[in-house]
């Protein structure tokens, strides 16, 4: 058995009390990991509390006639070492009393009752303030609406309905998978500012359907849904319902069904939207409003559901489903308490510290989950803050300051208070303070003094040192296309052919005129020598004009200027089009002289001018062949920031990361100046075949700079993120 202090110095305050459960309290039996538990529920304020069998028996003995001490002595007699200690019984009574689940037959203290209600409200307000990135606003009680809807949906809220739902979702997946590339290319349109209004409207509607799913399934199993409102996710409204009545369900599968109900309903919407998108995507050239709305619904009802709602590291649906699957309620709180317990025992040597679980496999799960949740919280804090600061700097800065205070400063203050006042540290508080300062110094040294590899990332495209643009030589209509991007060509090989009726007519007229003048010259030689000389001069002029026109007609066949590979614009898209002289057709590059052309923003490029080439390394990975890593050799920087991108593949529209001017039709005019780098890859002979013929392919770059402390790297990243917005 684990050692627990039996007696409490505060026992005299409660031992003669005669509390009892309030008469309206409901109790449900549940099983977790083979053990029986009881859930105490107050329908009035929707408060829940779980009791193990021994605690439940103690609460049952509190009938308003027995004193607390009599109940404790009975528990000792019946359960021995398994009985609660005085401290544990005091804590149990206190928590039930503060949750308004326990009553005491003394004269009612109105002020105390009001203070308890006010304390609960203040606690809720503090919790809302500490969750500024996702605080809740209550609107209505939807129970009456859901009671009316539940009989309508009851025929499908069963196993048969689940099978039909799975068949529909599977059919939608099978239908859209052949169009995956088209789906992926549409993501840029979804996140475009012009689509934000429709995306927001579809998001709210799909999330309302999501929450309706929770509520309907909860009602289906007899639960109450007393609250509907909006949760402000990073100040963006998302509907929510209070389906916490499911916590009292005896069957864990019913609790899981309520937790998964929202995702089930939302994925149903995604499946219907998928079929709608397939049926309407070609209307209006593929850009119809209905098609875009269906795509928005697919995007929000599938991607957001899988990434956020199904994520068990956030207290959304996936978290509660995981808790019920592994039968570990209050997983988040208990994992944090487990980490605190380990710190108290192994760092501060606190005796008699009570762990949240004595079962070994539960302890392992709590530790792993707690560490993952902390890492994810830090990741979420950084990514959301930087994203919001990039869009709305003042709002992002406010969220960063508030979240830092709530997620980091407040816990640190709580730790300092524990360190200064906890009675278990009374005998060795000085040692505990010294250990804390030592850990702080070690952490500061690890972050501020120890060098860590400094990696910077970028994107580029494969280009050729020898490339030639191919242009139309003469006005004409394209009739034949012989080559497309990726095709090998030799010098003089046909790329496309065009015709020009006007040019043909001109040549025919010149040929007829020439024949006529030649006939006139022959007659004039015998009759009028001077007229023959004039005719001969005219014949020479006509032949020059005819040769020029025939040369133009020959240029209607566009040929490769040298050996290489066709890249860039697809000539096939020009079939039947009218090309004016000088119009761009494509580009021919020499695949034997490849290089990578990359861009860095002005904020990211400062190190290029501070370091010599031998001070940093470059590694490159093809987007289509990520496992293959190549080293970079020579790096040349164009000595001026440019807004024109070296390739459209680097822009948002081309799948890259650089925002371009919406007014620019070429897709290559960046919103801000970029520094252009040209890097020669060291391609082993065995890998040359993999790189040949790939100009225009996107490449991921990683630059490894001299090692620096992490704190220096983070401050440098913050300075770059806020560059031009605030002085740091």
| 476-481 sheet: strands from edge to edge | 557-559, 494-499, 476-481, 578-579
CA 601 – CA 214 distance, rounded (Å): 46
CA angle 218, 221, 224 (to 5 degrees): 50
Residue pLDDT, tens place only, 344-395:
888 888 877 788 888 888 899 999 999 999 888 788 777 766 666 666 666 6
What pLDDT does 518 receive? 85
Structure confidence by residue, pLDDT tens digits, 608-658: 888 888 888 888 887 777 777 888 888 888 777 777 777 766 776 666 667
- CA 106 from chain center: how many Å? 56
Q: Which two tokens stand for residue 698?
A: 């996107």
- Tell me the C-alpha to C-alpha distance, in Å, between residue 484 and each of 73, 372, 522, 574: 90, 49, 52, 11
pLDDT of residue 389: 63
Would you say 47 and 101 are in contact if contact means Cβ atoms under 8 Å apart? yes
Kindly report the backbone phi and psi dihedral angles of residue 449, in degrees, each rounded to the nearest multiple of 5, phi listed first.
Answer: -125, -35
Q: Is the pTM of this model over 0.75?
A: no
Give the span between the Cα atoms of 119 and 116, in whole angstroms: 5
Structure tokens at 278: 């397939």
pLDDT of res. 670: 73
Choose among 585, 333, 391: nearest CA to 484. 585
The C-alpha atoms of residue 236 and residue 694 are separated, in whole angstroms, by 43
- What lies within 8 Å, CB to CB, of 134 at 6+ separation is 231, 232, 233, 234
Q: Provide the CA 12 distance to its chain's centre, in angstroms.
A: 55
Which tokens in the block code for residue 683?
A: 């391609």
Cβ contacts of residue 289 below 8 Å, gap of 6+?
Answer: 198
**Interatomic CA distance for residues 42 and 722, integer angstroms:** 50
Q: Is 41 helix (H, G, I), strand (E, B) or coil?
A: strand
The 8-class DSSP code of residue 493 comes to -
Reduced 3-state DSSP string for 96-139: HHHCCCEEECCCCCHHHHHHHHHHHHHHHHHHHHHCCCEEEEEE
pLDDT, residue 24, reads 79
Q: Which residue has the tokens 């209050």?
A: 330
Average pLDDT over residues 61-89: 85
- DSSP sequence for 417-485: HHHHH-GGGGGGHHHHHHHHHHHHHHHHHHHHTSEEEEEEEEEEEEEESSEEEEE-SS-EEEEEE---T
Record the tokens describing residue 7, joined without a space.
Answer: 């007696």
| Distance between CA atoms of residues 76 and 115, nearest Å | 34
Q: How confident is the model at residue 34 (pLDDT cuts 50, 70, 90)?
A: confident
**pLDDT exceeds 50 at position 722:** yes
- Of 319-323, 544-548, 568-572, the poorest mean pLDDT is in 568-572
Phi, psi at 547, each rounded to 5°: -65, -40
Q: Which residues of 518-539 are buried (b: 16+ CB within 10 A; e: fewer)?
A: eebbeebeeeeeeebeebeebb
Mean of all residue pLDDT scores within the chain: 81
Strand order across the 584-589 sheet? 467-471, 584-589, 564-567, 488-489
Mean pLDDT of 544-554: 89
3-class state of residue 497 by DSSP: strand
Q: Are the C-beta atoms of 333 and 340 separated by less than 8 Å?
A: no
Per-residue pLDDT band at 499 (split at 50, 70, 90): very high
Tokens of 389: 């600061």
CA distance 295 to 287: 11
């Amino acid at each position: 058995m684990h050692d627990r202090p039996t007696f409490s110095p505060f026992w005299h305050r409660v031992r003669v009390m005669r509390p009892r459960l309030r008469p309206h309290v409901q109790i449900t039996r549940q099983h977790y990991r083979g053990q029986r538990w009881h859930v105490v529920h107050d329908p009035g304020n929707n408060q829940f509390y779980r009791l193990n069998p021994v605690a439940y028996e103690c609460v049952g003995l509190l009938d308003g006639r027995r004193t607390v001490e009599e109940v404790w002595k009975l528990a000792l007699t019946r359960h021995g070492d398994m009985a609660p200690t005085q401290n544990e019984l005091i804590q149990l009574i206190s928590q039930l009393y503060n949750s308004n689940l326990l009553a005491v037959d003394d004269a009612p203290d109105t002020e105390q009752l009001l203070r308890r209600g006010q304390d609960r409200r203040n606690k809720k307000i503090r919790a809302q303030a500490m969750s500024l990135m996702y605080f809740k606003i209550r609107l209505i009680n939807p129970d009456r609406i859901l009671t009316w809807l539940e009989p309508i949906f009851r025929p499908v809220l069963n196993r048969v309905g689940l099978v039909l739902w799975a068949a529909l979702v599977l059919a939608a997946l099978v239908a859209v998978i052949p169009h995956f590339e088209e789906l992926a290319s549409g993501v840029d349109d979804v996140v475009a500012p012009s689509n934000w209004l429709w995306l927001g409207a579809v998001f709210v509607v799909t999330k309302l359907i999501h929450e309706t799913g929770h509520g309907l399934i909860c009602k289906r199993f007899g639960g109450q849904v007393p609250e509907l409102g909006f949760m402000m996710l990073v100040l963006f409204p998302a509907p929510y319902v209070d389906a916490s009545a499911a916590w009292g369900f005896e069957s864990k599968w019913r609790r899981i069904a309520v937790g998964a109900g929202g995702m089930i309903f939302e994925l149903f919407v995604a499946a219907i939207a998928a079929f709608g998108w397939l049926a309407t995507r070609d209307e209006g050239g593929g850009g119809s409003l209905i098609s875009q709305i269906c795509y928005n619904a697919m995007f929000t009802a599938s991607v957001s559901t899988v990434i956020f709602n199904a994520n068990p590291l956030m207290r959304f649906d996936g978290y509660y489903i995981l808790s019920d699957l592994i039968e570990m309620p209050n997983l988040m709180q208990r994992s944090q308490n487990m980490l605190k317990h380990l710190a108290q025992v192994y760092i501060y040597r606190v005796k008699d510290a009570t762990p949240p679980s004595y079962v070994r496999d539960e302890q392992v799960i709590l530790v792993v989950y707690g560490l993952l949740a902390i890492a994810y919280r830090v990741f979420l804090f950084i990514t959301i803050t930087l994203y919001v600061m990039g869009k709305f700097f003042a709002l992002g800065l406010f969220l960063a300051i508030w979240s830092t205070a709530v997620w980091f400063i407040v816990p640190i203050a709580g730790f300092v208070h524990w360190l200064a006042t906890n009675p278990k540290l009374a005998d060795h508080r000085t040692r505990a303070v010294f250990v804390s300062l030592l850990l702080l110094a070690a952490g500061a040294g690890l972050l501020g003094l120890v060098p860590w590899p400094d990696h910077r990332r970028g994107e580029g495209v494969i280009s050729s040192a020898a490339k030639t643009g191919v242009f139309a030589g003469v006005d004409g209509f394209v009739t034949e296309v012989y080559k497309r991007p990726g095709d090998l060509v030799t010098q003089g090989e046909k790329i496309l052919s065009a015709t020009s009726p006007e040019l043909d007519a001109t040549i025919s007229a010149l040929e007829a005129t020439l024949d006529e003048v030649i006939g006139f010259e022959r007659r004039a030689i015998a009759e009028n020598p001077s007229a023959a000389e004039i005719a001969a001069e005219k014949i020479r002029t006509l032949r020059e004009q005819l040769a020029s026109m025939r040369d133009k007609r020959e240029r209607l066949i566009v040929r490769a200027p040298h050996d290489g590979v066709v890249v860039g614009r697809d000539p096939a898209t020009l079939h039947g089009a009218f090309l004016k002289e000088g119009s761009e057709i494509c580009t021919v590059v020499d695949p034997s002289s490849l290089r990578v052309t990359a861009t860095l923003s002005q904020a990211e490029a400062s190190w290029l001018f501070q370091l010599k080439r031998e001070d940093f390394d470059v590694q490159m990975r093809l987007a289509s062949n990520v496992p293959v890593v190549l080293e970079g050799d020579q790096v040349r920087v164009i000595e001026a920031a440019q807004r024109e991108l070296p390739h459209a593949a680097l822009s948002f529209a081309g799948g890259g990361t650089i925002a371009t001017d919406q007014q620019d039709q070429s897709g290559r005019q960046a919103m801000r100046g970029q520094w252009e780098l040209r890097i020669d890859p060291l391609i082993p002979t065995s890998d040359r075949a993999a790189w040949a013929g790939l100009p225009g392919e996107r490449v991921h770059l990683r630059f490894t700079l001299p090692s620096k402390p992490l704190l220096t790297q983070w401050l440098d990243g913050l300075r770059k993120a806020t560059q031009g917005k605030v002085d740091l």
